Every structure is written in C-alpha cells, then in structure tokens.
Chains A and B, each alone.
Chain A
Amino acid sequence: MNAKELIARRIAREIAPGALVNLGIGLPSLVARYVPAERGVFFQAENGVIGLGGLPPEGLENPSLTDAGAGFVALVPGAASIDSAMSFALIRGGHVDATVLGGLQVDEAGHLANWMVPGKMVPGMGGAMDLATGAARVIVGMQHSAKGESKIVRRCTLPLTTLRRVDLVVTELAVIEPTDAGLVLRERAPGVSVEAVLAETEAALVVPDEVPEMVLA
C-alpha cells in the first residue's frame, strides 16, 4: 500500500454516517473510494453540487457536471445543484460536517499552510481558506515529509490558510491531533514505532502512554 492510499483509508474512518463532506483535490479526493455507499455520506464539490457519485460512463459525460478539479462526475440519488453563494454559505456557515484538505505545513498551534509557496507556487486559495475556516471539522491529509523535510513543523514558515486550529492531521506515519496542550500523537501507522514518528517530526509531539496502530478502512 502506498502512502496516499494509507492516508485516505485512515481518513475514511473519520467520515460519519450521513455527513456532508467536502474533499479537496488531489490526495483528499481519494478518501471517497474508501467510504462505503451505505454510510449515506453526501460529498460536496464547491463548484456547486451536493452528492458527487463517481464517474459517468465513458462517452456519456455531461459538460455541465464536473467536480472542483474540472473532472467529469456523476451524482448519487438525492443530489442537489447549487450556486457558489449557497455552496460557500454551506462551507462558511459550518453546515459542511467535515472537510479533508491537503497540506504543505501544519504547526504546533494546529495552524495549516496549504495555499502558496511565495515566489514558486501562487495558484490562489480557491475555496481552501473558506473550507479551513468554516467547516465543522477540518482534517488534513498529507505526507509526513517532503524532500526530506518534515511538514509537521514548530511554526509554519509558509503563509497560513486560516488562524483556526485544524482538528486532525493524518500522514502515512501518524494520526496527530492539535489540542490546547499541543500536537498529540494519537496513532501510528502499522509497523511504525513512536520513535520513528518522532524522528521524522520537527514539531514537538505530546506522546500518551498508549499510541495504538491505525485501523484502516
């Protein structure tokens, strides 16, 4: 299993029955694969649909039915199409139960940076700031390190996405919960020791007596 699949399968277990969930593009979008249909989850795409439902049959795509990454999609029964004001009222107003976002850095305060690298990558924040600020629960799914550097840092050096503390961070090594007491190491990946997680993490982690292995969907 590769890192992205492991992260997606762990996050899938966080998605409650009947929830309204927004998945970011890239790694977070993989989470939907591991959420069983019978859980009754509605996935929102911020371009204006509640109830994303997989891919349309080849050759039967509708050019007016895409996800936020501009890919063709299909819908589940009960889906609704909405305009951008409604879409972001749902997001900002806390009506979206959970969002899963990618990350560039998360720091000891639980702050997320995921929208730009000054001088290198300035794509624009799109809906990320609204999602990170307004969703009822913010889950960050990202690889633990990039180019040999930990992405779980003492303090974000990249521009922040929101001041709001994210609720959970899932990497291919660990599940980390930002709390008032700092970043708590809640779980470790199968076969990964606490020491290995600490060695790969720049930030200080609070380590409880028991750090169980992740259970995957």
Chain B
Amino acid sequence: MKGALKPEAAAERIPDGSSLLIGGFMGVGTPERMIDALVARQARELTVIANDTANPGRGIGKLITAGAVRRVVTSHIGLNPETQAKMLAGEIAVELVPQGTLIERIRSGGAGLGGVLTPTGLGTEVEEGKRVIEVEGKRFLLELPITADFALIGAHQADYIGNLTYSLTAHNFNPIIALAGRVVIAEAEHYLPVGAIPPDAVKTPGVLVDHLLMRG
C-alpha cells in the first residue's frame, strides 16, 4: 500500500483515456465516491470494463451520463437506457461479453495466463473472429486476457495496509479485478487498524492494493 488518497487526488491520477476495471453488480459493490470524483473532474475518453453499467444516477451509470466513457466492455447494458442510446448514437463503443467469460478474462489477465478456453459462446455471435481450440475432443473458444490501467474496488472493510473484505453480494467482480489493474485503488465502507481483520477473512491481500480512498 503506497498511501491513502483523497478522492479528488485519486481522480487526478487517472488520466483521460485510461482503462478502468470497476467493481460492482448493478451498483452493488461499486466505489461510489471514486466515481463521483471522476465525474467531478470531468474525466473523458475512459474505457470501462465492468459487469454492467448500472442505471442512470448510480455507480457506473453516473460516468455514462457525464459523458466520461468512450468504450465499455461489459456483459449487460439492459438496465441502463442511456448506455444503449449512446451506443446507438455512436458515442460509446460497447463490447458485450458473457458474464462468466468476462470475469475469467480478467482473472487470467491478472493471473499471468494467456487467456481462457470456454465453451460459452460457441456457435453464437460471440464466436465471431475468435479461435476455436479442440482439447480432448471438446471444442472451446479462446478468450483473451484483460488487464487495465486501473482497478477501482468497492470493499466492505480495509485495514491500513489495504487488506480487504467484502460483504454478501458486493463481492462480485471486486476480488478478481484487484489482480488485473496496474494501479489498484480501493474504497471501503470501514477502515480498521492492522490486525483487526483476521487473516482468514482477508479476500484481497493488501499487497495488491496501491491506494485506499480516504473517507469523505
């Protein structure tokens, strides 16, 4: 852990044009104050890689509304009509990826693997342009790894050196994207002294976390 940052300072470190892995499932587990700071600094031309784009007014939906996003790699935009409208207007490029494939592409990127072989998407539009590889008589799609400039994590608890826990369905993409961002910034609901989180409860080891977002 290299130090805690105020949200506005964290937003300043994220240049326009950056690629961002952002945690959350329909806004649950999304680092909201980090998002608010990016909107406030009028970030532009971002690539967002995330499960979904939430809905207007929440989580990643705020970045979409603010015009901060140029490209989205995601599994679902059905609950955000603004993402769909901007996609149809050519303002946002959208790459749709099956949810299980998206998380494994991110995991493989963060885990130093050359991609994943999955049966999901075979024989569908998802297969277009991809290599099909046969392993022991079964066919798989080769899906390539994903990494990004930043991973923005929403956590339940963090200790001062960045060990993280997550709550209930707010885990989702968060523990995985912590591996795949070149710079990892975590916003937690609660900050705790080192040692207050039992080792068995740590889901993301602090060695992966570069910065904690200061309380507002």
Q: Which residues on A are within 8 Å of B, measured CB to CB?
A: 45-49, 62-68, 70, 81-85, 87-88, 91-92, 121-130, 133-134, 159-164
Residues of A contacting B183 with CB < 8 Å? none
B78 touches A126 (CB 8 A): yes
- Chain B 99-111 near chain A by CB (<8 Å), digits 1 or 0: 1110110010000
A62 touches B98 (CB 8 A): no
A133 touches B75 (CB 8 A): no
Among the listed B75, B107, B176, which residue makes an inter-chain contact with A127, where contact means beta carbons less than 8 Å apart?
A: B75
B26 touches A70 (CB 8 A): yes
Residues of B contacting A85 with CB < 8 Å? 103-104, 107, 175-176
Residues of B contacting A160 with CB < 8 Å? 123-124
B103 touches A163 (CB 8 A): no
- Interface size of B in residues (CB-CB distance below 8 Å): 45
Contact A45-B119, Cβ < 8 Å, known A64-B29, A85-B103, A130-B100:
no
Contact A129-B176, Cβ < 8 Å, known A64-B28, A124-B76, A162-B124:
no
Q: Is B121 an interface residue (CB 8 A)?
A: yes
A123 touches B101 (CB 8 A): no
CA distance in complex: A90, B195 (Å): 32
Residues of A contacting B126 with CB < 8 Å? 125, 129
Residue of B whose beta carbon sits closest to that of A159: B125
Residue of B whose beta carbon sits closest to that of A161: B124
Q: Is B174 an interface residue (CB 8 A)?
A: yes
Stretch at the interface among B7-15, B34-42, B163-171: B163-171
